[in-house]
Amino acid sequence: MLFNNYSNLILEAGTDEAGRGCLAGPVTAAAVILPENYKLSLLNDSKQLSEKTREKLKPLIEESALTFKVIHLEPAIIDKINILNASIKAMQECITQLNPTPQYIIVDGNRFKPINDIPYSCIVKGDSKYLSIAAASVLAKTYRDEYMNRIHEEFPMYNWKKNKGYPTAEHREAIKKYGVTKYHRMSFRLLPEQLTLEL
């Protein structure tokens, strides 16, 4: 059972990100304000949903949201400011582009930095507790998957279409064999320590 609202303010935005633990590709954040008393029976934390269900939910969320925004932050930014800061920055950028402006923000996880003096709360496992965070998690995940499918066409040997940039054995094997691309995060441990990469 997901709750509609945390703050009792009508314009409450939920925000979440996808792709934090990946070796390649962007970190993608979404922020969503849903209408009051919103209901969508299939909606849950995106990690609990099949790809097919997420794809089905995406247009339903977009059509019914009062406002939403999705942002990709590239590996170069992740390498410069680190993945935690990049995740927070992506969520903040989404929030600044929402119209109407939220009166309150609920964030999945335990870290955030204030933006434009809007009050906020961090909620651990918020994507399985609040509808707006669950909606943001679905949008972040589906948009990021689409992005990884696109760049898979450019570098099919890494099989990003399947692994989405996560550190699977297959992905690491491809890095070992083919080296790195402009989409890899150079600040991440791309290979286990015993395997060094010739850069």
Task: Look up the CATH number of the domain holding residue 38.
Answer: 3.30.420.10
Q: What is the pLDDT of residues 174-196, one digit of tens each?
A: 999 999 999 999 999 898 754 55
Distance CA 51, CA 22 (A): 18
User: Alpha carbon of 125 to those of 47, 109, 110: distances in Å?
Assistant: 11, 6, 9
Report the domain count for the chain.
1
Alpha helices in the chain (DSSP H): 51-64, 75-81, 83-96, 131-154, 160-163, 169-178
Residue 186 lies in a domain: no
Is residue 95's pLDDT more than 90?
Answer: yes
> Exposed, middle or buried by CB within 10 Å (0-12, 13-18, 19+), for 118?
middle
Please give the residue range of the domain that contains residue 125. Answer: 12-178
Distance CA 154, CA 73 (A): 19
Q: What is the pLDDT of residues 118-137, one digit of tens each?
A: 999 999 999 999 999 999 99
User: Alpha carbon of 24 to those of 72, 75, 81, 119, 172: distances in Å?
Assistant: 13, 7, 16, 33, 11
Q: What are phi and psi of 82, to 5 degrees?
A: 80, 160
Residue 192 lies in a domain: no
Residue 118 lies in a domain: yes
Residue 131 lies in a domain: yes
Residue 30 lies in a domain: yes
Q: What is the pLDDT of residues 37-60, one digit of tens each?
A: 899 888 977 788 999 999 999 999
pLDDT at 54: 95
In the three-class reduction of DSSP (H, G, I as helix; E, B as strand; rest coil), residue 72 is classed as: strand
Q: Quick one: what percent of the chain has pLDDT higher than 70?
A: 96
Is residue 198's pLDDT more than 90?
Answer: no
In the three-class reduction of DSSP (H, G, I as helix; E, B as strand; rest coil), residue 147 is classed as: helix
Residue 98 lies in a domain: yes
Residue 94 lies in a domain: yes
Please tell me whether the peptide bond between 100 and the residue prior to it is cis, using omega within 30 degrees of 0. yes
Residue 152 lies in a domain: yes
